[in-house]
Amino acid sequence: MSGSDVWTPLPLADWSDTRDTLHMWTQIVGKTRLALAPMVNHWWQVPLYVSPRGLTTSWMPYGTSGFSVELDFIDHSLEIQRDDGRTWSMALAPRSVADFYEAYMGGLRSLGIDVRIWPVPVEIADGIPFASDETHASYDAGAAHDFWRALTQASRVLSIFRGRFVGKASPVHFFWGSFDLACTRFSGARAPQHPGGVPGLADWVTREAYSHACISAGWWPGAIGSPIAYPVFYAYAYPEPEGCPAAKIRPDAGAYDSVMHEWILPYDAVRTAADPDATALDFFESTYEAAATLGKWDRVSLERAREFVWEGGGRE
């Protein structure tokens, strides 16, 4: 496949209502992981993961057994699978968050799964409780599929980037609170206490996430009404070392956003590039190099020697 075949267009204005509804649906599913999975540093136990069909919780423990939940953006269904063979599914179609929430919790109960989640969205201002949300009720199947395809490409390239680092690094995972795909590298040093202040998120949650110095890279579809209303690749450091806004990064289409305190690269600049993979990786590498150098990270100890980098050789 060529780059144009796999890097699908995703203009936010065309699917913003579906995006906002999916954000709430993924929060409901993700909060199931939050309720059941044992704590892991920086909340790594709570994200979803890109799967061959959509987004999945992967296996979660429940008593002495377990189950998974997958949002399937090929057949457009949600499926709960218990590890004893029992399943439950419902169609992904235009329906309110309130209706989705009621049906989903009923599906869990039908399989003998009794789980309680905090029924209010996080990381957004003035979130509507799930059981009362009749506002978000859109589902464009084609747009949802294209969103997932964009996630697969971003996840694939982020996985290559992750493999070039031998220090502590997160998985490539989808945070349903912020609705973005992320991979984070750590220097090993403790970070100053995060000031908090994220809308809809307790400060102690943010401080656990940023307890250690890190440089994060990822992909976000953007949000109408935010400073970035189009899909982007991004990178940022916490704590942010002095000099990041003026640092030279690659490619030229990338820039530092002084409102978000992040470097951003428009998804379309990658999607339409002659070599999308190389363009995205150049952005990830150059922003990491800038932040790690300015932050005085021990790069020799943390980075894999180039002769030992294996980035996969599969071909279609």
pTM (whole model) above 0.75: yes
Which of the residues in the chain have pLDDT under 50? 1-2
What is the rounded distance in angstroms from the CA atom of residue 239 to the CA atom of residue 294? 11
Buried b / exposed e along 10-34 (16+ C-beta atoms within 10 A): bebeebbbbbbbbbbbbbbbbbbbb
To the nearest 10 degrees (0 to 180), the angle between helices 276-294 and 141-162 is 50
- For 279-306, what is each residue's pLDDT tens digit? 999 999 999 999 999 999 999 999 998 7
Q: At what angle do helices 97-110 and 16-36 cross, to 10 degrees?
A: 30
In the block, tokens 């999916």 appear at 22
E-assigned strands of 2-153? Answer: 49-50, 54-56, 60-62, 65-72, 77-82, 87-91
pLDDT at residue number 315: 52
C-alpha 240/C-alpha 215 separation (Å) is: 9
Distance CA 218, CA 267 (A): 11
pLDDT at 308: 67
Tokens representing 274 are 């002659």
Q: What is the pLDDT of residue 2?
A: 47
**DSSP 8-state secondary structure symbol assigned to residue 284:** H
C-alpha to C-alpha distances, 195 to 127, 183, 208, nearest whole angstrom: 22, 22, 12
Burial of 242 (0-12, 13-18, 19+ CB in 10 A): exposed
